[in-house]
Amino acid sequence: MKNLFEMGANFDDEDKGWSSDNKDKPSPKTHSEIKAPEKHQLHLAKEKRRGKVVTIVKPFYLVKNDLQNLVKILKKKLGTGGTVKDNSLEFQGDIPDQVRRHLEALNYRFKI
């Protein structure tokens, strides 16, 4: 007789050991599609973190290495700190106009 109150562990396959139902979660979707700068539709946002403003530009469809190189170039041009997080660039300070100007010079496009 089958137990009606089974809680998710499967003990029937003795050669495999036991397994749990909640271990096979799908991985989060990643943007594997690489786009040319002209095909990007970037969005600028500002957030306040610990009393300081951070300018965020996203989403980028580039290889991680290219994104690291882009943030390095922009940090030098802007004279500020910045980092790459989850296909977005974050810069210290309230500088959306300067970020937009430098990215447009590199042929990136923005949503209006």
3-state secondary structure of 51: coil
Provide the mean pLDDT of the chain: 82
Backbone angles phi, psi at 10, to 5 degrees: -115, 110
Burial 45-61 (b: 16+ CB within 10 A, else e): eeeeeeeeebbbbeebb
| pLDDT in the model for residue 46 | 94
Mean pLDDT of 74-102: 94
Q: Where are the domains of the chain?
A: 34-112
CATH 3.40.50.720 fits 34-112, yes or no: no
Q: Which amino acid belongs to residue 12?
A: D
Residue 44 banded pLDDT, cuts 50, 70, 90: very high
CA distance 71 to 112: 22
Question: 28 vs 55, which has greater pLDDT?
Answer: 55
Instruction: Give yes or no for residue 29 having a pLDDT over 70.
Output: no
> pLDDT, tens digit, for every residue of 91-111?
999 999 999 999 999 999 998
Q: 40, 33 in Cβ contact below 8 A?
A: no
pTM: 0.68
